[in-house]
């Protein structure tokens, strides 16, 4: 099966957004709301077990501030907090403080030059994706992606495979014609759940996680070219044929 599309995860894959991006945006939103919640790097690493910003706030409150959830308006307050956090995250992106990871821009350019289709499957919001692409790749970058599956377009977030199935359906491609690029166990379980061969690039929060089933686990894409991805993808089918 020839490789027809690359499906990129966003956070931790396109850019290292968590430690110095989303985490600071959450803290800014909490301060703005008058909440004495401050997520340090270690606590945030624990909270990353839950994907989705609203889900992560709820998870934190369950563990550390259960009284917050007993408030009848807690879901609405979480939604408002998350909107403020997204505003702060976009402001961080606008400041240029969150660049793409090594090799990402080059691989996107190589894929476009060879007519390979591009897609995104992420838990973060479409607003964050649009800002990350615009600021790092230019005003028309979002149009380079045939499908952008983001945030609440699906109810069940990663590690559920829903977002990948949502993207595959709109690509109108079989999973076997695609290659996913992920950074975390949650992401890998989601892409493999959708039947998509997956390459993992680790980061400081995901190094050492379980990446069983990945085609390969790399530190980053700095030395990886589209020809390498095509070969990796092809090997998947050679292996399957031998099984
Ligand atoms: C990682 C996530 C996201 C971000 C925060 O998404 O789990 O929730 O941590 O972004 P990805 P939001 O699938 O790209 O790795 O607050 O917008 O959810
Ligand atoms: Mg990720």
Whether 87 and 108 map to the same domain: the answer is no
Of 21, 49, 56, 198, the residue with max ligand 1 atoms within 8 A of its CB, to mutate for a pocket test, comes to: 56
Same domain, 41 and 127: no
How many domains are there within the chain? 2
Q: 72, 94, 116 — which closes off a domain?
A: 94
Give 43-46's long-range contacts (Cβ < 8 A, gap of 24+).
44/18, 44/19, 45/205
Q: How far is the CA of 51 from the centre of ligand 1 (A)?
A: 6
One domain, residues 106 and 154: yes
Nearest to 211 by CA among 178, 181, 174, 177: 181
Ligand 1 near 12 CB (within 6 A): yes
Nearest CA to ligand 1 atom 7: 51
* 161 to 107, 174, 178, 208: CA distances (angstroms): 25, 14, 15, 22
Q: Is the CB of 185 under 6 A from ligand 1?
A: no
* Atom 6 of ligand 1, residue of closest alpha carbon: 123
Q: Residue 78 is part of which domain span?
A: 18-94
Q: Is the CB of 17 under 6 A from ligand 1?
A: no
Same-domain pairing of 197 and 227: yes
The model's pTM is 0.97
**Ligand number nearest to the C-alpha of 201:** 2
Q: Is 122 in the pocket of ligand 1 (CB under 6 A)?
A: yes
The HSE-up count of residue 174 (CA atoms within 13 Å, CB side) is 5
Same domain, 69 and 87: yes
From first to last of the 243 residues of the chain, give the pLDDT tens digit.
899 999 999 999 999 999 999 999 999 999 999 999 999 999 999 999 999 999 999 999 999 999 999 999 999 999 999 999 999 999 999 999 899 999 999 999 999 999 999 999 999 999 999 999 999 999 999 999 999 999 999 999 999 999 999 999 999 999 999 999 999 999 999 999 999 999 999 999 999 999 999 999 999 999 999 999 999 999 876 655 555
Q: Which of 94, 122, 137 is a domain's end point?
A: 94
**Phi-psi label, residue 103: left if phi above 0, alpha if psi -120 to 50, beta otherwise:** left
Q: Give yes or no: residues 221 and 128 share one domain.
A: yes
- Clarify whether residues 104 and 79 are in a common domain: no
Contact 187, 199 (CB under 8 A): no
Rounded CA separation 80/185 (Å): 29
CA of 11 to the centre of ligand 2 (A): 4
Say if residue 90 is in the same domain as residue 111. no
Alpha-carbon separation of residue 187 from 51, 67, 76, 86, 95 (angstroms): 9, 31, 27, 21, 27
The CATH number assigned to the domain holding 169 equals 3.40.50.1000
Write down the pLDDT at residue 55. Answer: 98
Q: Which atom of ligand 1 is nearest to 25's Cα?
A: 16
Please indicate, yes or no, whether residues 30 and 81 belong to a single structural domain of this protein: yes
Whether residues 160 and 215 share a domain: the answer is yes
Which of these three, 58, 77, 94, is where a domain ends?
A: 94
Residues carrying an active site annotation: 9, 11
27 lines ligand 1 (CB under 6 A): no
Please indicate, yes or no, whether residues 86 and 105 belong to a single structural domain of this protein: no
CATH for 76 = 1.10.150.240
């Amino acid at each position: 099966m020839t490789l027809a599309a690359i499906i990129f995860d966003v956070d931790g894959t396109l850019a290292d957004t968590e430690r110095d991006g989303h985490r600071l945006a959450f803290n800014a939103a909490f301060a703005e709301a008058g909440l004495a919640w401050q997520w340090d790097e270690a606590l945030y690493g624990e909270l990353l077990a839950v994907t989705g910003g609203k889900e992560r706030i709820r998870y934190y409150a369950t563990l550390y501030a259960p009284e917050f959830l007993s408030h009848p308006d807690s879901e609405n307050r979480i939604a408002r907090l998350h909107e403020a956090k997204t505003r702060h995250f976009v402001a961080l992106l606008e400041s240029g403080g969150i660049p793409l990871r090594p090799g990402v821009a080059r691989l996107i350019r190589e894929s476009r030059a060879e007519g390979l289709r591009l897609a995104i499957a992420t838990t973060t919001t479409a607003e964050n994706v649009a800002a990350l692409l615009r600021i790092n790749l230019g005003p028309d970058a979002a149009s380079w992606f045939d499908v952008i599956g983001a945030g609440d377009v699906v109810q069940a977030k990663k590690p559920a495979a829903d977002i990948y199935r949502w993207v595959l359906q709109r690509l109108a491609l079989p999973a076997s014609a695609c290659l996913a690029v992920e950074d975390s166990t949650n992401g890998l379980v989601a892409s493999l759940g959708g039947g998509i061969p997956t390459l993992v690039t680790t980061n400081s929060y995901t190094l050492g996680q379980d990446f069983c089933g990945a085609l390969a686990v790399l530190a980053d894409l700095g030395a990886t070219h589209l020809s390498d991805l095509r070969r990796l993808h092809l090997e998947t089918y050679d292996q399957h044929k031998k099984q």
